[in-house]
Amino acid sequence: MILTPIPASEVGPISRRSVALFGDAVGDHNPVHFDPEFARRAGLPDTVVHGPLTVALVVDRLVEEFGAERLLNIDVRLRGPVFPGDRLTVEPRAFGEADRGVAVCRANGDEVATAIVILAGDPDQ
């Protein structure tokens, strides 16, 4: 089975303005994304980027590479926090023989997400 390769790319830095815009756009005003003191009381060093914003930025890389019409499905596991100011690398990753996707890492190497991606035009699609 030959799956369409996903090239490596970069995202960010993710600004606090982007976080604010995303929160307003989707109506997610959880203070853990906006209030540093709330985040610290939750045991975090800073506010965290919305998980779906991280996902949206990864989807955007795929849209740029393949076009929206080829995207059928993405299944993302959020594995670690992303903070404002982070730059992320999006690297191809195989998940067994049949699944392919990406791993998303912070600049310090922390893996913050993995995603299985299904594109139209791949075998069995």
List, as own/partner pairs, every contact residues 51-57 make where C-beta atoms lie below 8 angstroms and the sequence separation is at least 24, other chains included: 51/76, 51/78, 52/22, 52/26, 52/28, 53/14, 53/18, 53/19, 53/22, 54/14, 54/78, 54/82, 54/88, 54/104, 54/112, 54/113, 55/113, 55/115, 56/22, 57/11, 57/12, 57/14, 57/88
Query: Among 7, 8, 46, 68, which residue interacts with another protein (rule: CB under 8 A)?
Result: 68
Beta carbon of residue 95, minimum distance to another protein (angstroms, whole number): 14
Query: Among 3, 6, 54, 102, which residue interacts with another protein (rule: CB under 8 A)?
Result: 54
* Size of residue set near another protein by CB under 8 A: 49
Please tell me whether residue 103 binds another protein under the rule CB under 8 A. no
Query: Among 3, 6, 50, 102, which residue interacts with another protein (rule: CB under 8 A)?
Result: 50
